C-alpha cells in the first residue's frame, strides 16, 4: 500500500486483502491480523455489501469550503425498529420513521411517525404486503429490514414532494433502497427530485467500504490529515453506480467540519455536482455536539429511535390484550421466554 502521505492512492490494479498471518482462531492471532490491516491495509477498494459499484481509478482528497448559508430547506428522514416479542417462528417488531425540516436557522418540522407493529412468521407475508403498499413482488420475503426501509423511503418521497426548490432531502444511509424494492421506484424518485430542483442525499455513518481490508474512511482520514492538514475539510470521489433504470448514484467520502472526528460516506444522484452540493451540506454540519454530521439527521435519528422503554411498553400492552383474549401467562411464557437469558443469570 502506498504511504498515506502520498496525495493520491492509485487503485490500479485492485488487489484482494492479504491473507498471510496466523489464523488459528486465538486472540493473539486475531489481534495480530487486525493490527496489520489497521496499520497498513492492502491495496484496492472493496465493497463487502455486494453492490455493483464502479470505483474511481484513484483517490485524492480535494479541499472543501463551507457555503456561506444553508439551503432554503433541509428535510431529513430516519427510521427505527425494535424487537418486542420473540418466539423464533413468530416475532413481533415495531418500526417507525421520523422527519425533520430545518429552515431559516431553526427546526420548523419535527414529526415522529406512529409506531407500526408487525407480526412476522409463517403465513404472515401476504397480509403485510397488502398493508405495506411497497413496490415488491408477491414472492419476496418480508422481514423487518424491508418494513423499516420502506417506511423511511415513503417519508423521503413525501419530503421531496413538499420541499421547496433548492432544498436538500437527507436520508440516513446510502441511496440504495432494500434490494426487494423495484429499481425503477428509486429512479422515479430521483427524476421527481431533479424536476423540482431538490437534491436527495444519503449520509452513511459507518460504511463497509474498505481499502484492502482496512476501513476506507480511516485510510482517507489519515491521508487527508497528512496532505491537507488536521483541520481540513475535504472530499474524495470514490465510486458510482450505473443501474439499468435512472441516473444512478455517485459515492464520495467527505469531512464536513474542521472539528469533525470522522468523515462520512455521502451518496448523491449521478446528475448532481458534488463540488456544488457538498459545501451546502457542510453548512448544516457545524453542530458542536457532533460536528461534521448534518444536525437535521441527528434530530430525525433521535425522534425515530425505539429505546428499551418503547419495547417494554409495547410488550406490556400486548400482554394485556393477550390476557383479555384468554391466553394465560404460562402459554405466553412458553412462547416468548428468553431461555438464554434465564440460564445466563446463574
Task: Name every residue whose Cβ is closer than 8 Å to that of residue 191 and which is 6 or more positions away in sequence.
Answer: 246, 247
Residue 27, pLDDT score: 85
Query: Are both 273 and 316 inside the same structural domain?
Result: no
Query: Are both 312 and 298 inside the same structural domain?
Result: no
Query: Are both 300 and 279 inside the same structural domain?
Result: yes
Query: Are both 169 and 95 inside the same structural domain?
Result: yes
Q: pLDDT at residue 2 above 50?
A: no
Query: Are both 209 and 334 inside the same structural domain?
Result: no
CA distance linking residue 225 with residue 331, whole number of Å: 60
pLDDT band at 11 (very low <50, low <70, confident <90, very high): very low
Count of domains forming the chain = 2
Residue 166, pLDDT score: 97
Which whole number is the average pLDDT over 262-266? 96
Give the predicted TM-score (pTM) of the model.
Answer: 0.86
Run of H or E including 169:
strand 168-172
Whether 52 maps to a domain, the answer reads no
CA distance linking residue 91 with residue 205, whole number of Å: 28
Query: Are both 207 and 295 inside the same structural domain?
Result: yes
Residue bearing the bigger pLDDT, 120 or 45 = 120
Residue 272, pLDDT score: 96
| Residue in the structure block whose three cell numbers are 436520508 | 171
The domain spanning residue 231 has which CATH number? 3.30.2170
Contact (CB, 8 A) for 86 and 336: yes
Query: Are both 111 and 161 inside the same structural domain?
Result: yes
Whether 176 maps to a domain, the answer reads yes
Whether 328 maps to a domain, the answer reads yes
Range of the structural domain that residue 339 is part of = 308-343
Query: Are both 278 and 208 inside the same structural domain?
Result: yes
Query: Are both 276 and 315 inside the same structural domain?
Result: no
Query: Are both 253 and 235 inside the same structural domain?
Result: yes
Eight-class DSSP state of 11 = -
Query: Are both 319 and 179 inside the same structural domain?
Result: no
Taken in order 175, 176, 181, 182, the sign of the CA dihedral is positive
Task: State what percent of residues in the chain have pLDDT above 90.
Answer: 64
Query: Are both 327 and 226 inside the same structural domain?
Result: no
Which whole number is the average pLDDT over 31-39? 81
Closest CA to 233 of 199, 170, 175, 281: 281
Amino acid at each position: 500500500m502506498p504511504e498515506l502521505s502520498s496525495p493520491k492512492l492509485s487503485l490500479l490494479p485492485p488487489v484482494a486483502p492479504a491473507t498471510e498471518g496466523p489464523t488459528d482462531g486465538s486472540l493473539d492471532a486475531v489481534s495480530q491480523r487486525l493490527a496489520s490491516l489497521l496499520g497498513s491495509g492492502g491495496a484496492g477498494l472493496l465493497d463487502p455489501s455486494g453492490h455493483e459499484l464502479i470505483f474511481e481509478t484513484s483517490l485524492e482528497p480535494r479541499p472543501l469550503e463551507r457555503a456561506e448559508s444553508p439551503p432554503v430547506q433541509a428535510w431529513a428522514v430516519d427510521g427505527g425498529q425494535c424487537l418486542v416479542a420473540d418466539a423464533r417462528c413468530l416475532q413481533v417488531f415495531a418500526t417507525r420513521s421520523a422527519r425533520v425540516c430545518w429552515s431559516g436557522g431553526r427546526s420548523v418540522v419535527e414529526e415522529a411517525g406512529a409506531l407500526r407493529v408487525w407480526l412476522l412468521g409463517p403465513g404472515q407475508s401476504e397480509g403485510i404486503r397488502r398493508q405495506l403498499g411497497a413496490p415488491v413482488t408477491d414472492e419476496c420475503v418480508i422481514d423487518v429490514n424491508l418494513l423499516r426501509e420502506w417506511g423511511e423511503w415513503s417519508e423521503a418521497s413525501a419530503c421531496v414532494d413538499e420541499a421547496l426548490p433548492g432544498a436538500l432531502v437527507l436520508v440516513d444511509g446510502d441511496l440504495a433502497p432494500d434490494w426487494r424494492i423495484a429499481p425503477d421506484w428509486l429512479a422515479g424518485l430521483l427524476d421527481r427530485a431533479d424536476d423540482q430542483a431538490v437534491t436527495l442525499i444519503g449520509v452513511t455513518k459507518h460504511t463497509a467500504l474498505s481499502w484492502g481490508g482496512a476501513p476506507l474512511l480511516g485510510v482517507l482520514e489519515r491521508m487527508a490529515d497528512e496532505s491537507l492538514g488536521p483541520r481540513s475539510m475535504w472530499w474524495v470521489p470514490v465510486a458510482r453506480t450505473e443501474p439499468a433504470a435512472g441516473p444512478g448514484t455517485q459515492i464520495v467520502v467527505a469531512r464536513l467540519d474542521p472539528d469533525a472526528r470522522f468523515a462520512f460516506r455521502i451518496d448523491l444522484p449521478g446528475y448532481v455536482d458534488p463540488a456544488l452540493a457538498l459545501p451546502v451540506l457542510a453548512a448544516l454540519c457545524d453542530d458542536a455536539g457532533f460536528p461534521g454530521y448534518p444536525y437535521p439527521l441527528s434530530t430525525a435519528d433521535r425522534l425515530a429511535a425505539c429505546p428499551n422503554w418503547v419495547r417494554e411498553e409495547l410488550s406490556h400492552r400486548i400482554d394485556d390484550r393477550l390476557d383479555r383474549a384468554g391466553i394465560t401467562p404460562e402459554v405466553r411464557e412458553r412462547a416468548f421466554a428468553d431461555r438464554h437469558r434465564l440460564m445466563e443469570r446463574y
